[in-house]
Amino acid sequence: MYGCSDAKARNEFARTRDGAAMAAIPATLAPGNTVKPCPLRAPLVVTVVGLPCRGKSLAAHKVARHLSWRGESAKVFTVNENATNETLSEISLFFKEGNNVAIIDGMHLTRASRQTVATFCCEAVFHHLLIEFTCNEKCLQENVADTVQFYRNLDQNIDWERRFRESNDHHAPQFEPCSALEGPLITVNNSEDSMYHSVTARGVRGAIQTDILGVLASPVIRQQTFYFSRHGESEYNVLGRIGGDADLSSRGMKYAERLARQLGGPGSAPDCPRPKVVSRNYKSNPKYISTNSIWTSELRRTIHTVQNIPGPRAAIKDLNEINAGICEGLTYEEIQERFPQEFAWRDQDKFKYRYPHGESYLDLLQRVDSVVQALLTNTDVLVVSHQAVLRCIMAYFKGVKPDDVPYINVPLHTLLIVRSYGYDFVVETVPLKVECVDTYRIQPKVKYRIPYRR
């Protein structure tokens, strides 16, 4: 249990024996007031703070997308400047419906405006986290230019650059930076360049707040394009077997050739898209460095799928197919015959079911988290992997809830192109028209539930 912070009072900070700081109970309280204990899993309200064009909205939506992908129920509440009573009422209703993270995307430039949210959280027994965004002049100019271009596509009759400049000049004198006394705080000095992007934290506690801190630690790249594909049809695909390290079938080899032509290999057009040798990885100066732009699993069928595509590459263990344990190399018919109860358990909860001595989709989602976070610091990367792995990755970009991840259709011999668009991502499906088997299994209707093994 944690003490619920009251922004009216001066908070003291107590340091636990392991060195982790947490906000203590307010030192002073109004007569008759008591502090309600705030449970560890109480809902969290995140207040976004900062002047216009500091990258607040992109980061807020990135955090919400990540938390939702990992199984939390998060939503961004957009306000012009400050949270209003109507906003707070909407958040209360949102939490009553069983959701647990509300991110208020506004400016909240004054301590009084942040006090309103802090008091609401204390009275309702919610956790509260402040995230303050700043940036240097160069980053500000880039943010303004990018934001102007986005809104200009929506309405060309407005001088958006002038509007944003005037808004920034108007609000700058009102800004009161956050104080450590206001509660748990993350401060982000925003930049696309990791040499200048920095994050500091005070009083952050619990898994969700720590997860948010991890997401904010990486720069937000405003314009990104990614290419995803399953390996070409494998010999096991033709036989209906799962897992293993089978090589490509003859049709899978044909797909590898077609994919290479699509992405800059032999026979490709001069203007075709190509994974770039340089990308925004920002781990050292100069600004752009060489990096691996083609990522595959360690299995033969993915490595051979990209063998004719030019560019540096890396075989990544976390992109290996889901481990089917005792079911590796079997067909679904064989699994149903040999392990009927396992087959039934998997059908009734495919996301959480774990193959004996193998993995579940839940395990896989945790495994590919590092891959997704690495992707988000890059652009123009080709990822060739497997059905279950790409389901988990595409769930992030499509905003799919965890329970629905096992039923995302990622067909063979199809290129998926993901492009960032504002706060969202757009997925383009490009079938390369090479015949192959269909490995998709529709979600079965479970008539009755079988108690799961412990």
Average pLDDT over residues 202-216: 95
Range(s) of the chain covered by CATH 3.40.50.300: 40-217
237 assigned ligand-binding residue: yes
Residue 273 pLDDT class (50, 70, 90 cuts)? low
Rounded to 10 degrees, the C-alpha dihedral 364/365/366/372 comes to: 120
More confident residue, 65 or 11: 65
Measure the CA–CA gap between 35 and 4, rounded to whole angstroms. Answer: 7
231 assigned ligand-binding residue: yes
Mean pLDDT of the chain: 86
Q: Residue 300's closest CA among 386, 358, 380, 381? A: 386
370 assigned ligand-binding residue: no
Residue 276 pLDDT class (50, 70, 90 cuts)? low
Q: What is the CATH architecture assignment of 40-217?
A: 3-Layer(aba) Sandwich (3.40)
Measure the CA–CA gap between 234 and 237, rounded to whole angstroms. Answer: 5
Measure the CA–CA gap between 45 and 121, rounded to whole angstroms. Answer: 7
In the block, which residue shows the tokens 């394009």? Answer: 225
Answer for the pair 221, 203: CB distance below 8 angstroms, yes or no: no
197 assigned ligand-binding residue: no
Q: Per-residue pLDDT tens for 367-396?
A: 999 999 999 989 999 999 999 999 999 999
3-state DSSP assignment of residue 47 = strand
Average pLDDT over residues 189-209: 92
User: Phi and psi (nearest 5°) for 36?
Assistant: -80, 135
Q: What is the pTM of this model?
A: 0.85
List b or e across 275-289, with b for residues whose CB sees 16 or more CB atoms inside 10 angstroms.
bbeebbbbeeeeeee
Q: Is the pLDDT of residue 37 over 80?
A: no
User: Phi and psi (nearest 5°) for 78?
Assistant: -90, 130
Amino acid at 64: A
Percentage of the chain surpassing pLDDT 90? Answer: 69
What is the structure's pLDDT at 162? 86
261 assigned ligand-binding residue: no
User: Phi and psi (nearest 5°) for 15?
Assistant: -105, 125
Percentage of the chain surpassing pLDDT 70? Answer: 84
Residue 47 pLDDT class (50, 70, 90 cuts)? very high
Q: Is the pLDDT of residue 454 over 90?
A: no
What is the structure's pLDDT at 19? 32
Range(s) of the chain covered by CATH 3.40.50.1240: 225-276+289-431
Measure the CA–CA gap between 244 and 442, rounded to whole angstroms. Answer: 22
Measure the CA–CA gap between 375 and 59, rounded to whole angstroms. Answer: 16
User: What is the enclosing helix (H) or strand (E) of 13?
Assistant: strand 13-15
Q: Is the pLDDT of residue 169 over 80?
A: yes
Q: Which CATH number fits the domain 225-276+289-431, given the four candidates 3.90.1420.10, 3.40.50.1240, 3.20.20.70, 3.30.365.10? A: 3.40.50.1240
Q: Is the pLDDT of residue 2 over 50?
A: no
Phi/psi region, residue 269 (left: phi>0; alpha: psi -120 to 50; beta: rest), is beta
Q: Is the pLDDT of residue 56 over 80?
A: yes
61 assigned ligand-binding residue: no
Contacts of residue 340, Cβ cutoff 8 Å, sequence gap at least 6 = none
Q: Per-residue pLDDT tens for 89-119?
A: 999 999 999 999 999 999 999 999 999 999 9
Beta bridge partners, 234, equal 248
Contacts of residue 147, Cβ cutoff 8 Å, sequence gap at least 6 = 53, 160, 164
Residue 159 pLDDT class (50, 70, 90 cuts)? confident
What is the structure's pLDDT at 26? 37
**CA 114 to chain CA mean position, Å:** 27
DSSP per-residue letters across 224-253: -EEEEEEPPPBHHHHHTB-SS---B-HHHH
Beta bridge partners, 431, equal 414
Answer for the pair 219, 282: CB distance below 8 angstroms, yes or no: yes
Average pLDDT over residues 215-235: 93
Measure the CA–CA gap between 427 and 414, rounded to whole angstroms. Answer: 12
Q: Residue 264's closest CA among 211, 216, 308? A: 308
428 assigned ligand-binding residue: no
